[in-house]
Each structure stands twice: as structure tokens, then as C-alpha cells.
Amino acid sequence: MTDDSEFLAHVKQSKQGIEETQSIKQHSLQTAEIAESFAVKSLKDIVYDCGCLHDAGKYQESFQKRIRGLNIHVDHSTAGAIEAGKDFDAPSSLLMEYVIAGHHGGIPDGGQKGDTKDDVTLSGRLKHSEDLEDWSACHEVTSRNIDNQKLVAWLAKDCSSREEAIDKFAFVVRYCYSCMVDADSLDTEFFFTGKKRTALKSEYQLCLDRLDQRFKDFNCVSELQKARSRVQKQAYANIEKDADVYFMNMPTGSGKTLCSARCALLKALAEGKKHIIYVIPYNSIISQTAEQFEKIFGDAAQILRHQSTYSIDDNENASEEYKVHFTQATENWDADLIITTAVQFFETASSNKRSKLRKMHNMADSVLIFDEAHLMPMEFLQPCLETVSYLTRCCNAKAIFMTATMPDYEKLFRQLACRDIQIVDLVPDHSDFKYFRRCGFTEMGYVSIDALTESVFENRSSLIVVNSRKKAKRLYEAFGGRERTNLFHLSTYMTKYDLQTTIKQINTALIESREKEDMEPVIVVSTSLIEAGVDLDFQAAYREYTGLDSILQTGGRCNREGFSSKGTVHIFGFEDDENRAVDIRTAAMKKILSSYEDIQSTKAVEEYYHLVYELNNDRLTENAMYKFCNGITDIPFASYDGRLIKSSDVSIAVPQNAEAEELCNQIRQGNLSHETTRKLQKYSCSVHIKEFEDLKNQGTVNDYGTGIWLLENLDYYDAKEGIKMEGVDYFI
């Protein structure tokens, strides 16, 4: 028990009914110490002081009454920010003001000098001094002296312009915020539970030993296998060089995933990195990569899979204790080996929210592997590359960019992020790449569906990739639809559950087609979702006109295992589209197609990206933070839209089986728990907003006031085709 004269931060009732308390001083100092332990050396003092002052507002008499039972609302975040402004010089004071003012509700917009107390900006909130009660007792917690001049010099490093200074300051605010709020959360949690968290641990050396044993099991007999070994040895030799960013430009089929894992483990062991983080664009690749690592590493690695479609509850072999540790680790990435999506990674680094930013400090002192790195969204390329630059240059991380179609990222890094970034090419010698070219490319031109159908049925197995869901569905029906046993359709009109089921069925059919000569052709009609991370192998492929990178990715599904002497990718357009304008990526691809005999060559890929980025130069920086403010005092942290995916699609959950129906019933009853909504994602499909409005007008979707839309009539869904725009009983 604590007497009434002590300033309290937290109060709880023990199982014995005894009231236990934590003083503000104790909580503040413990938060400061934990935050300091998280931070890089140059920021340790400032995050320590943020921890000391973050709860200064709890010294107000009204808060002390509240914590002792009075039901009143008290602003306890603003006082600490005001105190930081009094006690410290700029820019240290400004950084601390952002962090402390937002430590519960999220980092606020900086605002303008003319903002009033009614504005929720930092500027407006700092004018509340007279409205708050006395908090001067906060000085019982002693802050440190910050070497402001040294901090300014550190902030100015790599910044040669006002714009670069703004963007770096915004990154540092988020990073310091991450250190402080995770420390605050952990200390508070420990007080209430009495339990310290257990991180997900991995033994890097044992993982490396098991991976090396896996490589020893591969017999290098064929010329291709020998070439794969030579390409990978280049990477292993060059990863020993010191750099900020490493480029792993390796062709499809050269073993990039396992090669990158070995490089990451070598680097982590050599430099004592705390985390290895795989950043992957698609959920399907995450599942594939995680399963591969789990099989190789076994009990040497506790892998944190942080993706929307995965639940640790689905792992029947996981103990209840491990499930708790896993779930906790998703909050702050306290794990040695993490696999996550590019959206999760970059949106965390550009967020203002406490729940997202808790993870950010654990991106530091890590090896970061960006799979399919060419897929970074063009309109967010500048903030994405800046994030990687800051993590490597300021936070002791190392980054590996991995793809079979590498843009000129060295030029882009120096143009958009950091001129002095140190880059090493892991595979500079491309002479062995010719062994991995298992298919050729030919242009069909603009064709009718009948002509396309005739060509497709000449092959034992064919993949047709088109640019829209509507075209995929139309082709599926034109090829025979449900009447054909070995005809498959893939698009996001289907739920993730049905997509995964269908991909397994396709793989089985492809294996059978190679064994049974009298079997009818296997035909898959798909959108671009199949182009990366789906390990299927077709005799021939057909790709609608699009960007060169996507065409080459489709080529990665053609004769992938080398069962034929040579596969062919047919590049085509629909005759209905012949006179329509094409987008920039398609225009650049057509120029490469007319200029290069070998569109897979390094020169062809380099020129393609040069054309694309030159034609889209303005888009590369359209979401740079500096474009939304005048300086570091008015950075719009809260209103900045850093979402990488700006979709006009609406997600609809389909109650297609007993589990999905039960989850939908929970939504209908208003149960919006994180677990329910997350589990429901695998039973969700997506439609364009206009299609959604049509379904809504037909009365076939309902959100029950929750904002989560459910399909109420299963006549509008088919497991093979996905969602329908008209049900079987729909009449006009």
C-alpha cells in the first residue's frame, strides 16, 4: 500500500484483494531505462528523457483523484510536452514534444503558429499550459542533459537540403516514439501482470549449419545446377564486404530465397545483428517462404509470421504458452527471425499510431531482406528508399534487395534518398544467367479469344495471365468454364481460402499431366497474382500486354523445372483493345520488345526501368513528407497518408463453410475483436467499388453497422469463379 501523498501512475487489485500501486517516478524511470536500451547510441539520452517526462501530466491533482476512483477525463500527455519545451533547446525540445504529446493518441500534426487551443495539432496543444493544473512535482524524476549541438550534427549527417532534413527529422521522431511507447507499454504490462515477456528466439549458427547441410544434399550434376552454385558463391563472397545495401540480382530458378537466407545469417553472425526481417510483397510468398524455413531450421528458429492471413491458433502443434509469446511478438516484433509483408513494414515506418510504431525500433540493428524488390510502389518509392537509407545509415541495419528484375536502385537511392549510401552488388558477374533461361518470348499481337483458345489447346499445360478480373472470368468461361475438369481460374474475386485450395489442385493436375499423355490439357486463367511466389510449372504461358517485369515474372512459371527443351511465353493483346491507349509500363515494354531480341537480358531490363522511371519522374516523390509541410515544426504526422495500398476495392467476407459462417455470425452480433476480423480475412474476396455498389443495391451484402461487409446470399459466390455480380435468382 502507498499513502495518499505519493503520486501514482497505476493502481491494481491483487488476487488477495490488496491494492497495489506504482508511483509515477518508478514508472517513468523504468520506462526511460527500457527506452534507452532500445535506442541507437546517438538517441539514447533523448529517448531516456522522453521516458522521464512522458507522464508529467499525471502529477496534476485531477489525475491523482481520477486514479483513486473519481470518474473524470484528464489530459496527461500535454504537460510533459510543454515541460520539454521549457527544459530543452530546439530541436531536442521539438522532437520530445512530438513524442510525448502523442504517446497515447499518436504523433500529432505539427500545425501552425496561429493554431488555437481548439486545434488538435502540437502547436495548439502546447497553448494549453494555463488550462492544466500544477505538474511541477515531475522534477522528482531527473532528466539528463542532452548535447544539443551533437544531436544537430547527427541529424544533419547525409542531409544536404531542407527537404532531406525534414524527412530525416520525421523518421527520427517516429523512431524515438517507437522506443518510448514500447517501453511504456512493457513496463505498464509488467506492473499489471507481474510477467516479463519472452522473445521468440532463433539460434543463427544452428540455422546456418542446417541450411548448409541442406545445400550439401543438393547434387550439382547438370550444367544448370553447377551454374546455380557459381552464382550463389558470388553472393556468399560479396556479403562479407561492408555496405549499407546489397543487391541480389539473380534469375528465376537460381535459388534466391535460400541464398538470401544464408547471406542474412552470415551477416547477422558476423556483425551481431539482433533480427533478420524478411519483407515480402505477397501473402502467398510469405506462406511459402515460412514453410520452407520451418522445414529447414526446425526447432532452431521460432519464426514470427506477421501477415493478415496467418493465425498462430491454426498451428495445432503450438503450445498455449508459445501462442501467447507469438501474439505478443506481433505487437513489437520482439523476435530474432521475422517474415512480414512490404505493406506492414513500410506502413509501420510511415505511421503516426502507437499500435503500429511500437515495432519500428526493432527494425534497427537488423538484416533486412526485401524480396521481389522491384515491386516497391512507384508513388511511394522515395519514402520507401529513404526508410531503408535511415535504417542502414542511422540505425545499424543492413539491407538486401532481391529480385530477378532489378531496377537501377543505386541511381534511385542516390537520387531520392542518400547520395553517400554504400552499395555492393552481390552477383556482379551475369555470365551464368544464360543457363536459367528456360523459355523464349514471342509476340502474338492483338488476337481474338477464338485465336487465343486455338493456340492454348495445342499445349499440354498453359498459363494465361491477364490484366483484370473481368477478363480472367470472361476467358475462363470462353475456355469451357466449369465443364472442363482441368480448367482453373484465379483472381481476387475468389476468397483467399479458395485461392490456396485451387493452387494446390493446379499443382496436382500439372504433375499428373506430365505422367499421363492422354490427359486433357491443364489450363489456368489468372490475374497477376500468380506471377510471384507461386511455384507452378507450365509448358507454355500467355501474358497480356503489360510491363516487362510482369512478363518476365510470368516467364518464371513457364518450363520452370526444365521438363521441356524450351518453353514459350506468348505476349498478346485482345483485339478489342487494339486502338486503346496503353499505360507507361506497357509502352516501355513494347519499345523493349521491338528493340531487343533477348528481352531477358540485363541491358533490356535496365533500359525498361530507365524508360519507366524517366516517364514517371514526378510520381517518384509525390508522397515525400517534405512536400506536405514547410519545416520540422509543422510535419503532418497524423494526417499524412502513408498507406502503400490505395485501393478502390471493397472486401467482402463469404460464409462459405462452418468456420466462416460462425465468424460472420460474430460480426453480425457486433463482435469486432482483432482475432475475429483477422480470421475472417481468409474467407474474404474483393470487388471494385462500383461492383460493390451494385451488390449493395441488390441487397446481397450487409455490414450490420460494423463496416465489415458480409455476403448474405451464397447464390452470388462460386468457389471456382469467385463472387458474382448477379445471383441465380436475379432478374431485371
Inform me whether the pLDDT recorded for 499 exceeds 60.
Answer: yes
Supply the pLDDT for residue 729.
54
Three-state SS for 523? strand
Quickly count: other Cβ atoms within 10 Å of residue 46's Cβ.
28
Contact (CB, 8 A) for 539 and 565: no
| 332 assigned to some structural domain | yes
- Does residue 4 carry a pLDDT above 80? no
Q: Does the residue 391 lie in any domain?
A: yes
Q: Span 309-322, mean pLDDT?
A: 79
> What pLDDT score was predicted for residue 226?
92
Query: Are the C-beta atoms of 569 and 551 separated by less than 8 Å?
Result: yes
In a domain? residue 233: yes
Distance CA 171, CA 151 (A): 14
pLDDT band at 223 (very low <50, low <70, confident <90, very high): confident
pLDDT of 210 above 80 = yes
- Taking alpha carbons only, the member of 202, 307, 326 closest to residue 265 is 202
* Dist. CA 527–CA 510, nearest whole Å: 19
Please determine, for residue 646, whether its predicted confidence score (pLDDT) is greater than 90: no
* 8 A C-beta contact, residue 160 and residue 419: yes
3-state secondary structure of 660: helix
Domain boundary residue among 149, 166, 193? 193
pTM, entire model:
0.92
Average pLDDT over residues 631-640: 96
Query: What DSSP assignment string belongs to 428-495?
Result: ---TTGGGG--EEEEEEEEE-HHHHHHHHTTSSEEEEE-SSHHHHHHHHHHTTGGGSTTEEEESTTS-
CATH of the domain at 376: 3.40.50.300
pLDDT at 1 over 50: no
Residue 164 and residue 308 in one domain: no
Position 641 scores a pLDDT of: 78
CA distance 261 to 367: 10
Structural domain that includes position 679: 649-723
Average pLDDT of 521-550?
A: 91
Contact between 593 and 599 under an 8 Å Cβ cutoff? The reply is: yes
Measured CA to CA, the distance from residue 214 to residue 199 in angstroms comes to 27
Write out pLDDT tens, residues 386-441.
999 999 999 999 999 999 999 999 999 999 999 999 999 999 999 999 999 889 99
Whether the per-residue pLDDT at 380 is higher than 80: the answer is yes
Residues 137 and 13 placed together within one structural domain of the fold: yes
Q: How far apart are CA 12 and CA 226, in angstroms?
A: 65
Of 431, 448, 469, which marks where a domain is finished?
431
Q: Is the pLDDT of residue 599 over 80?
A: yes
Structural domain count, the chain: 4
Residue 147 shares a structural domain with residue 89: yes
Q: Are residues 380 and 248 in the same domain?
A: yes
pLDDT at 2: 41
What is each CA distance from 405 to 457, 549, 553, in whole angstroms? 30, 6, 9
Longest dimension (CA), the chain: 88
Whole-number Å distance between alpha carbons of 366 and 347: 18
Res. 571: pLDDT tops 90: yes
The pLDDT value recorded for residue 730 is: 46
pLDDT at 5: 61
**Does residue 612 lie within any of the structural domains?**
no
Examine the fold and report which residue of 413, 431, 449 is the final residue of a domain before the chain moves on. Answer: 431
What is the structure's pLDDT at 732? 41
Determine how β-strand 701-702 pairs with β-strand 567-574: unpaired
> 621 by DSSP, 3-state: which?
helix
Query: Which pLDDT score, from 0 to 100, does residue 533 have?
Result: 67
Same domain, 414 and 458: no
pLDDT at residue 312, rounded to an integer? 80
Are residues 172 and 292 located together in one domain of the fold?
no
Give tens-digit pLDDT for 716-727.
999 999 999 887
Pick the residue with more confidence: 308 or 154?
Answer: 154
Residue 728 lies in a domain: no
> Does the pLDDT of residue 244 top 90, yes or no?
yes
How much is the average pLDDT of 44-61?
Answer: 97
pLDDT confidence tier of residue 516, bands split at 50, 70 and 90 = confident
Residues 576 and 661 in one domain: no
Is a pLDDT exceeding 90 seen at residue 560?
no
The pLDDT-based confidence of 640 (bands split at 50, 70, 90) is very high
Give the DSSP per-residue string, 684-725.
EEEEEHHHHHHHHHTT-EE-TTTT-EEE--GGGEETTTEE-S
Predicted pLDDT of residue 728: 60
β 684-688/649-653 pair status: antiparallel
Does a structural domain hold residue 615?
no
Average pLDDT over residues 629-646: 89
Q: Is residue 248 assigned to a domain?
A: yes
Name the one residue in this structure whose C-alpha cell is 517518384.
Answer: 620
pLDDT at 731 over 50: no
- Per-residue pLDDT tens for 254-282? 999 999 999 999 999 999 999 999 999 87
Do 33 and 180 have their domain in common? yes
Spatial distance between the Cα atoms of 114 and 82, rounded to a whole number of angstroms? 17
Q: Are residues 421 and 525 in the same domain?
A: no
Half-sphere exposure of 313 (CA within 13 A, CB side): 6
- DSSP code per residue over 231-266: HHHHHHHHTTS--SEEEEE--TTS-HHHHHHHHHHH
Q: pLDDT above 70 covers what percent of the chain?
A: 98
Give the number of C-alpha atoms closer than 13 A to the C-alpha of residue 614, restricted to the C-beta side.
8
Task: Please tell me whether residues 183 and 210 are part of one structural domain.
Answer: no
d(CA 410, CA 140): 51
Q: What is the mean pLDDT of the chain?
A: 93
Asked if 361 contacts 39 with a C-beta cutoff of 8 angstroms, the reply is yes
- 574 with 665, same domain: the answer is no
pLDDT score recorded for residue 386: 97
Give the model confidence (pLDDT) of 140-195 as tens digits: 999 999 999 999 999 999 999 999 999 999 999 999 999 999 999 999 999 999 99
Separation CA 89–CA 177 (nearest Å): 19
> Given this model, what pLDDT does residue 152 score?
96
Is there a single domain that holds both residue 661 and residue 567?
no
Instruction: Please report whether residue 638 resides in a domain.
Output: no
Task: Using a pLDDT cut of 90, give the percent of the chain over it.
Answer: 81
234 and 263 in contact (C-beta within 8 Å)?
A: no
